[in-house]
Amino acid sequence: MYKFKRFIRVYRDFIISGVLIFVALIGILVGLVPGVRRVVALTSETNIVAGEVRALTTKVATLESIDNDTLQHGFDILMSAVPSEKLLPSIISSLEALAARQEVSIINLSLKEPGAIATEAAIPKNAEAQKVGANMVTLSIEMSGTVDKLREILDTAVRVRRFFRVRSFDMSIAAKTEVTKARFTMDAFYIPLPKTLGKLLDPLPPITGEEQGVIEKVAAYPLLSQEALTPYDATIPTTPVTADPFTP
Amino acid sequence: MPKASSINLFQTKANLPPSFLLWDKYLRTAAYIGMGLLIGGGFIVWGLFVVIGMQRQVLEERRAAATDYIKSNVVKEGMILALRQRIKVVSRIMEQQVSLAPYINTTLLVAQPPKLASFTMGDQGSVNISIRAADGYEAQLYVKTLIDLVGERKVKNPILTSLVVEKDGSYLMSFSYGVIL
Nearest to A15 by CA among B20, B41, B19: B20
pLDDT at B140 over 60: yes
Percentage of residues in chain A with pLDDT exceeding 70?
Answer: 85
Lowest mean pLDDT, pick from A166-180, B66-80, B147-161: A166-180
Mutate to test the interface with B, among A11, A63, A130, A201 (most CBs of B within 10 A): A63
Q: What is this model's ipTM?
A: 0.77
Residues of A in contact with B75 (CB under 8 A): 233, 236, 238
Q: What is the pLDDT of residue B11?
A: 56
Q: Give the whole-angstrom CA distance, residue A51 versus residue A35.
A: 24
Q: What is the mean pLDDT of residues A210-238?
A: 76
pLDDT at A1 over 80: no
Q: Give the whole-angstrom CA distance, residue A248 versus residue A244.
A: 9
Q: Is B151 left (phi over 0), alpha (psi -120 to 50) or beta?
A: alpha
Top-ranked range on mean pLDDT: pick from A37-46, A71-80, A118-127: A37-46
Lowest mean pLDDT, pick from A53-62, A85-94, B33-42: A85-94
Residue A218 at interface with chain B, using a CB cutoff of 8 Å: yes
- Of all residues in chain A, the one with the smallest CA distance to B20 is A14
Q: What is the pLDDT of residue A248?
A: 40
Where are any strands of DSSP class E within chain A? 105-111, 135-145, 164-173, 180-190
Lowest mean pLDDT, pick from A70-74, A201-205, B17-21, B115-119: B17-21
Find all residues with CB under 8 Å of B125, minimum gap 6, and list them.
Answer: B103, B178, B179, B181
Q: Do A72 and B97 touch (CB under 8 A)?
A: no
Q: Give the whole-angstrom CA distance, residue A237 versus residue B151.
A: 58
Q: What is the pLDDT of residue A127?
A: 73
Q: What is the mean pLDDT of residues A18-43?
A: 94
- Where b means 16+ CB within 10 Å and e means fewer, A29-61 reads eeebeebbeebeebeeebeebbebbebbeebbe
Taking the CA of residue B153 and the nearest CA in chain A, the distance in Å comes to 22
Q: Is residue B117 within a helix (H) or strand (E), and if so which, with residue range?
A: strand B116-121
Contact indicator for B117, B172 with CB cutoff of 8 Å: yes
Residues of A in contact with B41 (CB under 8 A): 28, 32, 35-36
Q: What are phi and psi of B110, to 5 degrees?
A: -80, -50
Contact indicator for A137, A109 with CB cutoff of 8 Å: no
Q: What is the pLDDT of residue A226?
A: 72
Lowest mean pLDDT, pick from A21-25, A126-130, A225-229, B124-128: A225-229
Cβ contacts below 8 Å, chain A against chain B, sum to 246
Q: What is the pLDDT of residue B13?
A: 55
Which of the four pLDDT bands, split at 50, 70 and 90, describes residue A243? Answer: very low
Find all residues with CB under 8 Å of B156, minimum gap 6, and list them.
Answer: B150, B177, B178, B179, B180
pLDDT at A215 over 50: yes
Task: Summarize pLDDT for A105-138 with one digit per residue, the tens.
Answer: 999 999 877 665 445 555 556 777 777 888 889 9
Q: Residues 141 to 180 of A: which have CB under 8 A from any B CB?
A: 146-147, 150-152, 154-155, 158-159, 163-166, 168-176, 178, 180
Q: Do A214 and B90 touch (CB under 8 A)?
A: yes
Contact indicator for B132, B115 with CB cutoff of 8 Å: yes
Residues of B in contact with A40 (CB under 8 A): none
Top-ranked range on mean pLDDT: pick from A85-89, A192-196, B127-131: B127-131
Maximum Cα–Cα distance for chain B, whole Å? Answer: 165
Which of the four pLDDT bands, split at 50, 70 and 90, describes residue A240? Answer: low
pLDDT at A247 over 50: no
Task: Summarize pLDDT for B63-114 with one digit per residue, the tens.
Answer: 999 999 999 998 888 888 889 889 999 999 999 888 889 999 999 999 988 8
C-beta contacts of A69-76 below 8 A and 24+ residues apart: A71/B76, A71/B79, A71/B80, A71/B83, A72/A232, A72/B79, A74/A207, A74/A212, A74/A215, A74/B83, A75/A232, A75/B79, A75/B82, A75/B83, A75/B86, A76/A229, A76/A232
